[in-house]
Amino acid sequence: MAVKKGGLGRGLSALLEEMGSAAPGADPKAGASSLPVGMIDANPRQPRRHFDEVALNELADSIRIKGVLQPILVRPATEGRYEIVAGERRWRASQIAGLHEIPVVIRPFSEADGYEAAIIENVQRADLNPMEEAEGYHRLVKEYSHTQEMVAAVTGKARSHVGNLLRLLDLPDDAQALVKMGLLSVGHAKAVLQAKEPASLAKEIAARGLTVRQAEEAARKSHNAPAPKLAKSAPAQRDADLEMLESQISETLGLQVAIEARGKRGTVTIKFSDLDQLDRVIERLQG
């Protein structure tokens, strides 16, 4: 869905403000009604995949004492049921707390708009793990034809942050799992992407507890490892400045780059594993 001035393109909070449910200084329950928790279904396509049990129980304890202070946002679904657009944690915690009804704001989102709003609401939160956030951005790009600039605008994030998170999707599956578990930071992941054997470096970082700087050094060294010696042949010597330039370009693009010089001529090779990576390279080269 294209970003619209005054709509989702200004973020979910702006949309709700225009609909009368988030006006500055207004009572957060103004315009809200209540629905039985059993009539509400979770959004099957929201980015969040993990709900911390301890945090949910803490929120449930607070709800038992103070109630649900902020209504959840839902849209009409089918056969008298409603689907959550924003507020699934509150809905889950309310069930733990034993509530039979929960305050809601009902908005007539289409299915597509509801899914887009759910993604935006989730990636604006600070407690998603980086892979969940990256997957949310990716869906905005692929399913709703957003550019990275548009994603940054609707989520309130920096363009560079969006780009760095999307690069995490180029990690091997094992490395992505380590990011989800908190064993690799985004800084570690950027170093892993530069390594000759990303999966191997990811496991080494997790096993040895390497710092980001140590991981970056290991990634650089992985490209400079001596090649196996062949019979009656000596290893070729490479120009140090050329290697540094190769490393810098690899870091900028997030892809493996090889430079071969032959006198005043040569070739630059950029390796990519899928068309998404190629699209990102073309986007960067075009500025």
Kindly report, residue by residue over 151-186, the tens digit of the pLDDT.
888 888 899 999 999 999 999 999 999 998 889 999
**pLDDT(188) > 80:** yes
pTM to 2 decimal places: 0.57
Active site residues: 88
pLDDT confidence bin for 287, thresholds 50/70/90: low
Range in 52-56, 136-140, 265-269, 276-280 the model is least confident about:
276-280
Q: What are the start-end ranges of the E strands in the chain?
A: 33-36, 40-41, 72-76, 82-86, 101-106, 257-262, 265-270
**48 three-class SS:** coil
For tokens 């089918």, the residue is: 78
What's the rounded Cα separation, in Å, for the pair 209 and 157? 29
Is residue 231 exposed (0-12), middle (13-18) or buried (19+ Cβ within 10 Å)? Answer: exposed
Q: Which domains does the chain have, with CATH numbers?
A: 8-165 (3.90.1530.30), 173-224 (no CATH), 237-287 (no CATH)
Contacts of 214 (CB under 8 A, 6+ apart): none
For tokens 């902020």, the residue is: 70
DSSP 30: T
DSSP characters over 100-117: SEEEEEE----HHHHHHH
pLDDT tens digits, 223-240: 876 655 555 544 455 667
What's the rounded Cα separation, in Å, for the pair 153 and 156? 5
Residues 266/259, Cβ–Cβ less than 8 Å:
yes
pLDDT confidence bin for 208, thresholds 50/70/90: very high
* Vertex 202: Cα angle to 276 and 255 (nearest 5): 30
Is residue 232 exposed (0-12), middle (13-18) or buried (19+ Cβ within 10 Å)? Answer: exposed
pLDDT at residue 109, as a whole number: 86
Q: How many Å separate Cα 168 from the centre of its chain?
A: 8
As a residue count, the chain comes to 287
What's the rounded Cα separation, in Å, for the pair 8 and 115? 11
For tokens 């980001």, the residue is: 212
Which comes out higher in pLDDT, residue 193 or 263? 193
Residues 130/161, Cβ–Cβ less than 8 Å:
no
Is residue 269 exposed (0-12), middle (13-18) or buried (19+ Cβ within 10 Å)? Answer: exposed
Backbone torsions φ then ψ of 59, nearest 5 degrees: -65, -40
pLDDT confidence bin for 23, thresholds 50/70/90: very low
